[in-house]
Amino acid sequence: MEEWVGQVWHRIVTRAARREYPQAAVRLDEIRQPASVLFRALGGDSGLRIEAANETASGARRTLLSRIAGSNRHVALAWRDEDTLRLPASIAWYAERDLNRQLYLWLAALATRTGSCTGDWLQQNAAATADLLSAHPGLAQRYQTLVDHHLQQRPDPQRLPAGEAAQEAMIRQALLEPASVQSPLVRARHAPQPVPLWLHPAPPVLQRAMEAADHSDPDQQQDDQHSQPVDSDKRRRGERVEAPDGRDGLLAFRLESLFTRAEYVPVDRTTEEHEDEDAQSALEDMEVVSVASDHRRVATRLRFDLDLPPEDNDDLYLGEGVPLPEWDYRQRRLLPDHCRLQPMQARNASPAGVPVYLQVKARRLRRLFEALKPRRHWLNGQADGSEPDLNALLDFNVDRLRGLRPADARLYRSFHNAERDMSCLLLADLSLSTDAWVSNEQRIIDVVRDSLFLFSEALQSTGDRFAMYGFSSRRRNHIRFHILKKFNEACNDVVRGRIQAIKPGYYTRMGAAIRHATGLLEKEPSGQKLLLLLTDGKPNDLDRYEGRYGIEDTHRAVQEAHEHGVRPFCVTIDEKAGEYLPYLFGSSSYVLVRNAGELPAKLPLLYARLTAA
């Protein structure tokens, strides 16, 4: 009974202290696409991703009910950095869904003007608002509606202490007349109440990783294939802390000294192999995620757990490597010879045939793709040709005897040896993420291997020129480019043996691989050149090739491919591909295969559709 009364009391007080309207909430997933289009249409940086903003401490004065309920301590506000535009995961500030939706769009529009504004939080947002309304007067009515409803939610300055009253008056003036703001916000004991129409006053800064010795090793461990991932649509601040030394364990404690789970405590604990069912809830409670390193050599652990080969047993290096440029979006220029691509070939690849379990599918694809193979045939009724067309000559003589004289006599025929003017290069991502399992029987690398087998069998039947390569990377000076089949090689058991020998590599420096593949296709005499990229994730590597840097370099490499007459097309199994592939390849130049197990059968059919014209 006591517990029931407590639960009822908690619900009543929490509901009374609530300042939002959950029934009218609009989630970011519902508005992400319109907000993205508006942001870019108004001049926003096309390379920025839209992600969910995490909640941060408000610091504003709370009402008595809020203190009793323990609520309204945190607030989710929008902000932007060099890589992302962060909008709240959901907005429920207003009682009407349409107003919450308009607030999302307003924040996306406002973010296009904040980069060049100076001053403190109040001055920056007021200047950005005034600039936006001046450039786009059509937004004024919507903005005024949002302001009118929000002012009704703000505290009355007459009921606040002097310093906070002055703050509130300045904020109200800035909301109503943004162009009139001249001075910065005055200081007070408490921070002002949040302004959802403005960007964050002090956005969280993601702390960069320390340049420690244990992070200089290029081999980074991945999550265990049997572990359960914990997903969250919020991005949190991170910090690096020193790991416990392993000698001081927790022996006893007093209950009143127990910390909350949001606080980092350097306590030695043994590794727990069972799944933590409360991990999702714990993650949601944390503002800052503390990460400690055990200072062990990651490469050694990788080789033990993932069976990575030592350098002596690595694949064969072919040549000294190929220097390639890389695009630095911060400097807005190509860095010449910044990367080195190393052509490689499997060391112990033995000739092999098509696997038994794929032979039936291979035969069906060969029969299907034989219909695409050009046929040799005679063209009759030609004005010129290699020999007379007897039927046309007979018709001509009959018409002449009847007194008819055709103006255009086509009395010859010629032999036409039709050929598909097509070259295709299939570039497969062989990064370490392909070691993940997609089912109880197959890993991603197994699906990729089967796809290469069936793809090669299908294209062999068409007579099209094609090549196949795989790639992974380990920093900019070691981009592994595995040769599976060159354009001038026949698809035989040697090639199949190389396909059978592929294995997960390291990371995904996609831009350099696309540039080298474009260079190979450019040497082909075919009129149509297709670069087919098969991947399971976004570009990444260790040396700053992460986030926007990798995205921008890949985007630039795709643009260069188009300039050289190569058509890039991406096939992915990444469920989050819609967040970055439209920017990289264009909305019509990629396809998502949601069921990875269907990729081997779908890849050849996709090629048939792409080359049908």
Per-residue pLDDT at 378:
61
Contact (Cβ atoms closer than 8 angstroms) between residue 571 and residue 606: yes
Task: Please tell me the pTM assigned to this model.
Answer: 0.69
Mean pLDDT of 557-563: 97
- The answer to whether residues 381 and 303 belong to one domain is no
Task: Tell me, yes or no, whether 73 lies in a domain.
Answer: yes
Task: Tell me, yes or no, whether 191 lies in a domain.
Answer: no
What does pLDDT average to over the chain? 81
Contact (Cβ atoms closer than 8 angstroms) between residue 468 and residue 428: yes
Q: Give the number of C-alpha atoms closer than 13 A to the C-alpha of residue 303, restricted to the C-beta side.
A: 10
- Each residue of 69-98: pLDDT tens digit? 777 788 889 998 878 899 999 999 999 999
- The answer to whether residues 170 and 53 belong to one domain is yes
Q: Which of 313, 541, 550, 354 is nearest to 457 (CA)?
A: 354
What is the widest separation between alpha-carbon atoms in the chain?
Answer: 120
Mean pLDDT of 337-345: 95
- The answer to whether residues 487 and 545 belong to one domain is yes
Dist. CA 429–CA 451, nearest whole Å: 12
- The answer to whether residues 580 and 452 belong to one domain is yes
Number of folded domains in the chain?
Answer: 4
- The answer to whether residues 403 and 470 belong to one domain is no
Q: Which of 238, 239, 354, 232 is nearest to 282 (CA)?
A: 232
Dihedral of the alpha carbons of 132, 134, 136, 140, in degrees to the nearest 10:
90
Q: Which of 481, 487, 446 is nearest to 358 (CA)?
A: 446
Q: Which of 506, 508, 499 is nearest to 450 (CA)?
A: 499
**What is the domain extent for residue 404?**
376-417
CA of 227: how far to CAs of 30, 249, 273, 274, in Å? 30, 26, 9, 9
Contact (Cβ atoms closer than 8 angstroms) between residue 282 and residue 261: yes
104 contact partners, CB below 8 Å, separation of at least 6: 26, 28, 31, 35, 87, 91
Dist. CA 444–CA 596, nearest whole Å: 7
- The first and second tokens of residue 270, run together, are 């043994």
Contact (Cβ atoms closer than 8 angstroms) between residue 43 and residue 37: no
Mean pLDDT of 549-578: 95
Task: Tell me, yes or no, whether 161 lies in a domain.
Answer: yes
Query: pLDDT over 70 for what percent of the chain?
Result: 78
CA of 363: how far to CAs of 367, 374, 464, 601, 607, in Å? 6, 19, 18, 12, 17
- The answer to whether residues 410 and 433 belong to one domain is no
- The answer to whether residues 65 and 214 belong to one domain is no
- The answer to whether residues 589 and 447 belong to one domain is yes
Task: Tell me, yes or no, whether 534 lies in a domain.
Answer: yes
- The answer to whether residues 107 and 136 belong to one domain is yes
Task: Tell me, yes or no, whether 199 lies in a domain.
Answer: no
117-131, 204-218, 324-338, 366-380: the lowest-pLDDT one = 204-218
- The first and second tokens of residue 125, run together, are 């947002």
Dist. CA 344–CA 11, nearest whole Å: 64
Dist. CA 69–CA 71, nearest whole Å: 5
- The first and second tokens of residue 105, run together, are 């769009």
Task: Tell me, yes or no, whether 277 lies in a domain.
Answer: no
Task: Tell me, yes or no, whether 333 lies in a domain.
Answer: yes
Sheet holding 387-388, edge to edge: 376-382, 412-417, 387-388
pLDDT above 70: residue 30: yes
Comparing 501 with 461, the larger pLDDT belongs to: 501
Mean pLDDT of 606-612: 88
b/e 288-308 (16+ beta carbons within 10 angstroms → b): eeeeebeeeebeeebeeeeeb
- The answer to whether residues 380 and 466 belong to one domain is no
**Residue 390 main-chain phi, psi, to 5 deg:** -60, -40
421 contact partners, CB below 8 Å, separation of at least 6: 526, 527, 528
- The answer to whether residues 383 and 365 belong to one domain is no
Per-residue pLDDT at 140:
94
pLDDT above 60: residue 215: no
- The answer to whether residues 602 and 460 belong to one domain is yes
Dist. CA 344–CA 163, nearest whole Å: 69
pLDDT above 70: residue 122: yes
Task: Tell me, yes or no, whether 105 lies in a domain.
Answer: yes
Dist. CA 267–CA 250, nearest whole Å: 6
Last residue of a domain, one of 180, 198, 230: 180
Dist. CA 268–CA 244, nearest whole Å: 6
Tokens 């295969």 locate to 593
Tokens 């604990």 locate to 269
